[in-house]
Structure 1
Amino acid sequence: MPDPNIHLWHVELAKDADADRYLPLLDDTELAHAHTLSHPLIRQRYLAVRGNLRLLLADYLQQAPAAIGIARTETGKPYLPAHPQTVFNISHTARHLIVAIAGHCQLGVDIELPSPRPNLAALVKKCFADEEAAYWHGLPPTRQTLEFYRFWTKKEAFVKATGRGIALGLKHCVINPEQPETFLRLPDGYGEATTWRIIDLTATEQLEGHGLCGAVVVDSLAQVSWERLVKD
């Protein structure tokens, strides 16, 4: 993948799509998992997410969707063993899927649909560092929900980029409240905070119109390039 940019694809997943049309695109592992899903909506979303991911990857790799080998690291991060120069990450919430595809780098993406929750303060105590928590508690109540999700998606995108997931400890992935596109501190073993970039997607036209929060975290100087909207 010679293009140095991070390509972001936004897929709007249909409510009543014929998800079974994606079955021929999936590999045996995905098909086996799909057969274990008894809830119709969960099964439909799973097939649509995996099918759209494979369709997009097929275009980049010039392979049939079902022939693309997708493996997972010991900690569960998906990768392309036959195409190590191409990396990808996905996130989905409600009816929205984001697929991020880039050249060789460590890449994570996360999107969330902000919604008021009675336990936000408890989550802040558990997952935010002291600097982040002080900033959040100092916000007007009308801003706290949105700002919580803006911090959360950045932390999630980082732990997804590392491949460790939330087991890495969200509290140790510390965002600078004064410069929220940068980290203050990171867990040991993941380099200097300045080697990682946060790209906030929340205010972009592609997400803001749907009320979504989102972020990309990457360990390179790559820029984000939004590709066309895909309708499921």
Structure 2
Amino acid sequence: MPAEPGDHLATALTPARRAAPRQDVTLWLLGLDDPVCRACATVLSDAERERVGRMAFDRDRRRMAAARGALKVLLGAWVGQSPERLRLSVRDSGKPWMPDHPGVFFNLSHSQNSALIAVTATGEVGVDLEVLRQGPDLLELAGRVLTPREQAELLSDKDVAGRDRRFFQGWTRKEACLKAAGWGLALDPQEFEVGTGEDFRRIRLAHAGQHSDLDLMSLSLAPQVAAALAIQR
């Protein structure tokens, strides 16, 4: 039987198992300008290409197409289906899922040239990735998204680069939790505490009479990257 389209691409996208803190979650750290990732864009549907095409800048369109294509290639390989035939949908909350494979949970995050994909059969999962950068507005932003205790942790670091890393560690941890819960920014990030370090935590989010219990951990992926994983337990 000939190989399905995308089979060779899935083989080339090596999982970042060294960064996986749990055996039941597989992670891929991808470079979106890499030719293998860029080739994944060929599996997108016409509707997906149209959505990507609405982005303002060509570089952003290329990277988004590569990220979405890589996600379909990896999910197709996971469930044994051609990525072109894979049916992806979006829940009312905005969280993507596969109606034909409801027991497979996944999430995608990308920042600049980097993307992070998580796939698991355990439960709803969220990942967030940020390429570290400096900016005078980070402290102002911290005042809007971090709790008072988290802000104190950040300010206790006298090194500017250390403060920047702490901010992005805190932000990725919050984003991963919100994505795993499927609530997006319906929940104010200042309403729950995750810390600005790299420690493992068990988090309970509460919103509109519902709650979500999560295992949260930071990920060591690359020197200039902050990332986190949250998974429902």
TM > 0.5 between the two?
Answer: yes
Deviation digits for residues 100-147 of structure 1, max 9, x if unmatched? 000141210001011111112211211111211122222213321111
Is 1:159 aligned to 2:178, yes or no?
A: yes
Q: Does 1:208 align with 2:199?
A: no
Distance in 1 (alpha carbons) for counterparts of 2:119 and 2:86: 15
Residues 152 and 158 of structure 1: is their aligned pair in 2 closer, same or farther, counting only changes over 3 Å?
same
Asked if the contact 2:177/2:230 (under 8 Å) is kept, the reply is yes
Shift of the alpha carbon at 1:198? Answer: 1.1
Q: Secondary structure at the match of 2:127?
A: strand
TM-score with structure 2 setting the length: 0.80
Q: Distance in 2 between matches of 1:31 and 1:184?
A: 37
Partner Cα separation in structure 2 for residue 128 and residue 159 of structure 1: 14
Q: Is this contact kept in 2: 1:199–1:216, CA < 8 A?
A: yes
TM-align CA RMSD: 2.5
Q: Pick closer, same or farther for the CA change 1:59–1:129 going to 2, 3 Å.
A: same
Would you say the 8 A contact 1:172–1:185 is kept in 2?
no
Give the 3 Å change call, closer, same or farther, for CA 7–184 of structure 1 in structure 2. Answer: closer
Paired amino acid for 1:165: G
Q: Does 1:133 align with 2:151?
A: yes
Q: Which has the higher contact order (CA 8 A, sep 6+)?
A: 1
Query: Could you tell me which residue of structure 2 aligns to residue 181 of structure 1?
Result: 200
Question: 1-side partners of 2:104 and 2:122: how far apart?
Answer: 6
Aligned to 2:28: 9
| Distance (whole Å) between structure 2 residues aligned to residue 113 and residue 95 of structure 1 | 9
1:226 corresponds in structure 2 to none
Any unmatched runs of 5+ in structure 1?
221-232
Alignment coverage as a number of residue pairs = 210
Deviates more, 1:181-190 or 1:120-129: 181-190
| Gap runs ≥5 in structure 2 | 1-21
Match of 1:149? 168
Q: Percent identity?
A: 26
Match of 2:79 among 61, 86, 102: 61
Which of structure 1's runs of 4+ aligned residues deviate more than 6 A? 15-18
2:62 is the alignment partner of 1:44: yes
